[in-house]
Homo-oligomer: A and B are copies of this chain.
Amino acid sequence: MHRIEVGSNILQANEEIAEENRQIFRTRGLFVVNIMSAPGAGKTSVLEETIKRLKPAVNIGVIEGDLHTTLDSDRINALGVPSFQITTGTVCHLDARMIHSALHGFTLDGLDLLFIENVGNLVCPAEFDLGEDLRVMIFSTVEGADKPKKYPVMFHEAEAVLLNKTDLVPYSGVPLDELIANVLDVNPEANIFPTSCRTGEGIDLWVNWLTSRISAPRSARDAATATGG
């Protein structure tokens, strides 16, 4: 076994536009959640279950990121929630500029809560601040217990980690205890929610936590964002 270390550059320009987005969101009193995961981990399904539990008390909007198709946006619209589809072509993540551009075509008027569903990718989305208040990661338990070690960046950046598709745990052979230990090893502060959109396991716990997080005083939120982001 041999090893090469390959360097990387982080786009600082993104941070400036993200800060502009953040100011726009704060001026409106809008709470913004960036949802990230690998493809097929269940972002849209979790979003659907979350929206069902928060409506109509909370006015929700959704920005969807995908390479192609409006399939996810169509699913959100079917719930009576306004959504805006960004199609990135071959770009593997959303960045602050894409969100900024979206705000010219998507009205935030009357919204309390904006979800941004990122492109399905366990790597790059975690590096691009969009101006959000909260970063949530959804991980399909089927993908294996070793993944927090192999792809630590997103696990480290997320304030909440939903370990989804727990209904498949008995069949996939993935040890949930080991997975949780590996998440905490990378991010000891992570709020972890084992969830299943098929059985409903953990969804209420997650939504209750999200609600309390939205209701937290702005000062506490700022502190969390400053330490987490």
Contact = CB atoms under 8 A, between A and B. Distances in A.
Given A67-B123, A71-B146, A173-B198, A3 B85 contact: yes
B3 A92 contact: no
Contacts of A124: 92, 124
Q: On chain A, which size bracket covers the interface? A: 35 or more
Interface string A37-53: 01111000000000000
A41 B91 CA distance: 21
B127 A70 contact: no
B2 A153 contact: no
A39 B140 CA distance: 10
A172 B1 CA distance: 37
A143 interface: yes
A153 B1 contact: no
Interface string A160-204: 000001011001110000000000000000000000001000000
B121 A92 contact: yes
Contacts of A122: 38-39, 120-121
A91 B39 contact: no
A102 interface: yes
Contact of A150 (B68, B92, B106, B140): B68
A91 B8 contact: yes
A89 interface: yes
A38 B143 CA distance: 9
Given A5-B87, A40-B142, A40-B144, 15 more contacts: A1-B70, A4-B87, A4-B102, A8-B88, A10-B90, A38-B120, A39-B147, A39-B150, A40-B140, A41-B143, A67-B152, A119-B123, A120-B151, A142-B168, A168-B171
